[in-house]
Amino acid sequence: MSASNAAVVSHKKPELLMPAGNLEKLKAAILYGADAVYLGTPDLSLRTQSGISLEDLQEGISFARERGKKVYLTLNLFSHNRDIEKLPGLMATLEKVRPDGVIISDPGIFQYVKERMPGLELHISTQANVCSWLTVDFWQKQGAALVVMAREVGFAEVQEIREKCPEIKLEIFVHGAMCMTYSGRCLLSNYMAERGSNQGNCAHSCRWDYKVRLKLKDGSLKDLHLTEETKELFDFFLEEEYRPGEYFPLEQDSQGAYILNSKDLCLLPRLPEILASGINSLKVEGRNKSAYYVASVARVYRKAIDDWFDNPEQWKFENYLEDLYAVPNRGYTLGFHDGRLSPFSHNYYDVHSLSDMENAGFVRAWEDDALIFEVKNYLEAGELLQFLSPTLREPIRVRLQDFEDALTHKVTDKVSAGQNKAIRIPLSIFHTLSPAELKQHLPVMSVARKMSHMNEGQKARLIADLEALQIQIQNLKVDEIEKSKRLQENQEMQMFFKQKQVISKGPRMGLEGCCGKGCNGCRLFWFDPKYATARAKLQAKNGLLPVDKAMQPQN
């Protein structure tokens, strides 16, 4: 057992802080366990794509406060002269909505807000690049209540800052996209697309594909075309001047090379030491992500934080990691948490986010005998939906054989997502919970996921991403242990790898491939003798009629 897992808990739980790009995401974050959300209006923040209007902001703050949660407003751009004239209007907005705090990076804006609203809690944004206890001490003396540490600060440094500055709240990022530049202070977008990242208009130029060009002796430039015949002949690496002999792979496929593409931050495996350190706030990035992302990630970290405080000795990160891989990601990295950035923190060959699950939709409304489900991805007959309850650990599974349009009541064997497209799901097809329990555990805005259809290349990348994270978790060097031996170091992770390598066959009609969890359409579960014990446990847990008698065979 690690020392952090065995630590005596002597402080309160840190705040779980989730992003809210619009009102829907704000409500999803609160519903799934966030203690607070941060959001911004399009002016004077790095939220130029924000979907929050003044009315939304007021409704969101009321929604949060009714549930004992907090809302922080972001004002974290670096101001130009043209921005100053907007400040009086901004102050009127702050006076009207009264957020729980404001996140600021510009010292001038900090001073302006402090002088005009002295009772408002002021937080220092990660954009301010705070990396030392001396800078934290400076902001504390200016009147800041909380400082968000730059992503480049290692955990050992954060611990020292905590010791030297015990009276101010500290916040760190634990999950989400990483920026290739210094905590977002980037000029690449300005040069490549004339869009100022420090003004909230980043074009994400670091995610673009870049092709390798050859310059011949005559001065002409040629494309380097890699074909099936030639791609195995070459490997390309970058060698930095002061790191001779240390090669960074430069890989290009038919789509290009992704030399600036960082993986996504995921500090879940390091959560015990973070929770034991007394850090006050754990922040998740994702203002432009979907409500499904916000709900899924909040649900995982809520469970993980609560479980560690309840029983740190039995806490294992493997119990939560699978749900994070059900959320689209670029592969996960520990970032700078352990100090120097790992070579496995970048994804040189693919810029896309992927996962083995995808957003299916969410509960829009309830009727007496059915739920109205808004569809967010294509569904076909035999599709297994996993409803993520804000209150239950296990997903609520149901297999749909047809789809009734919520508006026209037309029944089809497939349905495509569209604007406000919704289907009606009768409660009678759920066999693991009663209608009353379903309504209790699946409130409006509860999300659902389904299996995504990955090609062989995507599956291979997912396995590579898993292996790379495992290497980072165990602090291994690639040449120390062979691949097969690395995986044996952690039995739970090894099982996770095997599971991910199982080839999915898409929607099933309940005739093959039972998971043993008991969805309504799996005949193997409901009738095969080998699942009798599982059926008995399910019956005892839910107090329903014996499932063998309640369930009728399906064609």
Domain 357-451+508-550: give its CATH architecture: Beta Barrel (2.40)
DSSP 162: H
Q: Residues 360, 377: contact at Cβ < 8 Å?
A: yes
Domain boundaries, the chain: 15-179+264-312, 357-451+508-550
- Residue 52: predicted pLDDT: 77
pLDDT in tens, 28-43: 999 999 999 999 865 5
Report the pLDDT averaged over residues 318-335: 92
CA distance 368 to 473: 48
What percent of the chain lies above the pLDDT cut of 70? 68
In degrees and rounded to multiples of 5, residue 35 shows phi and psi of: -80, -25
Instruction: Name the pLDDT band for 175 (thresholds 50, 70, 90).
Output: very high
pLDDT in tens, 58-71: 999 999 999 999 99
CATH topology for 15-179+264-312 is: TIM Barrel (3.20.20)
pLDDT in tens, 68-99: 999 999 888 888 898 888 888 888 888 989 99
Q: Residues 85, 114: contact at Cβ < 8 Å?
A: no
What predicted TM-score, i.e. pTM, was given to this entire model?
0.80
CA distance 505 to 495: 20
CA distance 74 to 513: 48
Q: Residues 37, 71: contact at Cβ < 8 Å?
A: yes
Q: What DSSP string describes 287-305?
A: TTS-HHHHHHHHHHHHHHH
- Residue 555: predicted pLDDT: 36
- Residue 81: predicted pLDDT: 92
